Amino acid sequence: MSIDIYLELGEAVSEAELRDGLAAAGATITSNEPAKFSGSFAGSGMAFFFDAFPVPHPLRAEGTQVRMSVAAELWLRPQPSTYDEAMAELRALSLALASRTAGGFVMSYQYETVYAERDHGAVRLFSPLDAADVAGNAGE
């Protein structure tokens, strides 16, 4: 069984801000192309793949109040054996990205369950990323 997490990024989030947030959360980019890159997180081994869209599309995540067009997406695939470490890294990524951009984003499990969201204000974290004991609050 695979776990797919999607980070949908609004038009105001730059690729440079995302790359900086990934680095701050412990990720390494291993494959680099224009508007596409991939890599993994050191702690959990969680893989990620980035793709910028030539034409923004509607937000796919369900159950969010955020309203934005999606200009890019980061697909993350945690490994079940390192799930707790991956959740800590996702929390760290959400907080790092929120501190680097004013742009909106929504992180969700298979577009069905929102883990984190940001529109015009502070980032909001939901279960499982809101737990106070997520691997020592990575990124804070």
Residue 21's SS3 state is helix
Check if the beta carbon of residue 90 is closer than 8 Å to that of residue 38.
no
Residue 55's Cβ-side half-sphere holds a number of Cα atoms within 13 Å equal to: 0
pLDDT above 90: percentage of residues in the chain:
80
Quick: pLDDT tens for 22-65. Answer: 999 999 999 988 789 999 999 999 999 999 999 999 999 999 98
Domains and CATH numbers, the chain: 5-136 (3.30.310)
**Closest of 75, 42, 48 to residue 60, by C-alpha:** 75
